[in-house]
Amino acid sequence: MNAKIKTINNKCCRMCESDKFFKVINLGYHPLVNSLIEKKKIKFKDPVFPIELKQCKKCKLVQLTKIIDAEEIYKNVDYLYFSSDMPSLKKYFKNYSLDLEKRFLKKNDLVVEIGCNDGIMLENFRRKYQILGVDPATNVVLRTLKKKIPAIPEFFTNNISYKISKEWGQAKLIYANNCIAHLNDLRDFMSGITNLLQKKGVFVFECNYWGGYGKKCKLFSNLS
């Protein structure tokens, strides 16, 4: 882990570009995802980063106050979270895939997963559909490829969406599970979705929900 990773102030809302925020909560300092020190190296300190949340006054999106360059999380180190390490997820993604299949898909449709990790969900679609995964973590994508699931080690951007649609055509289904909250440029991401999706295509995403939308939450009231 590079000890010189710097945080960047997230000055404008990731969704609406407003610069007016409520403070929400400061959860202190934490290491990057699953980047914990081995017991024998306990006297050395890994870099830790602030998890401080704020809420946009205009669109109400809850987001980090300080962010880290995504290259430092997914590209410059090995990403340490593999979905298949969580045994209960296999069944969950199986049922989720069956539901999407019944509702939206016909044989040979193109299904694209953004943030496909090690292909745990995408493999449920492999028999009847064309599948493609996109994930910036190269070490994780290598594991997906081992399962013979096509995947590209890239961030999903508007630019990448053009490259995919040129080679693979447009997708009937694009889905993204728990990765949108990691994105700094939501507008570019959504332009890419619009570009890659068929006219009657469907985009499904799974994301954390901040209850009390539109209301000043209790935590904020305590901190302001």
Among 5, 15, 145, 202, binds Zn ion (CB under 5 A): 15
Residue 181 binds Zn ion (CB under 5 A): no
H or E element: which one contains 142? helix 138-146
Helix (H, G, I), strand (E, B) or coil at 46: coil
**For residue 131, which of 155, 110, 156, 147 has the smallest C-alpha distance?**
110
Contact map string, positions 37 to 76, toward Zn ion, x by CB under 5 A: -------------------x-xx-x---------------
Residue 16 binds Zn ion (CB under 5 A): yes
Cβ–Cβ < 8 Å for 182, 70: yes
Minimum distance from residue 11 beta carbon to Zn ion (Å) = 12
Q: CB burial class (10 A; 0-12, 13-18, 19+) of residue 188?
A: middle
CA separation for the pair 163, 160 (Å, rounded): 5
Q: Which stretch binds Zn ion (CB under 5 A): 14-22, 90-98, 109-117, 138-146?
A: 14-22
Residue 18 binds Zn ion (CB under 5 A): yes
Q: Which stretch binds Zn ion (CB under 5 A): 9-17, 83-91, 177-185, 202-210?
A: 9-17
Residue 13 binds Zn ion (CB under 5 A): yes
Residues for the chain: how many in total? 224
DSSP 105: -
Residue 186 binds Zn ion (CB under 5 A): no
Q: Please count the residues of this chain forming the interface with Zn ion, following the rule CB under 5 A.
A: 8
156: left (phi over 0), alpha (psi -120 to 50) or beta: beta
Q: Which stretch binds Zn ion (CB under 5 A): 7-15, 66-74, 145-153, 162-170?
A: 7-15
Report the interface residues with Zn ion, using CB under 5 A: 13, 15-16, 18, 56, 58-59, 61
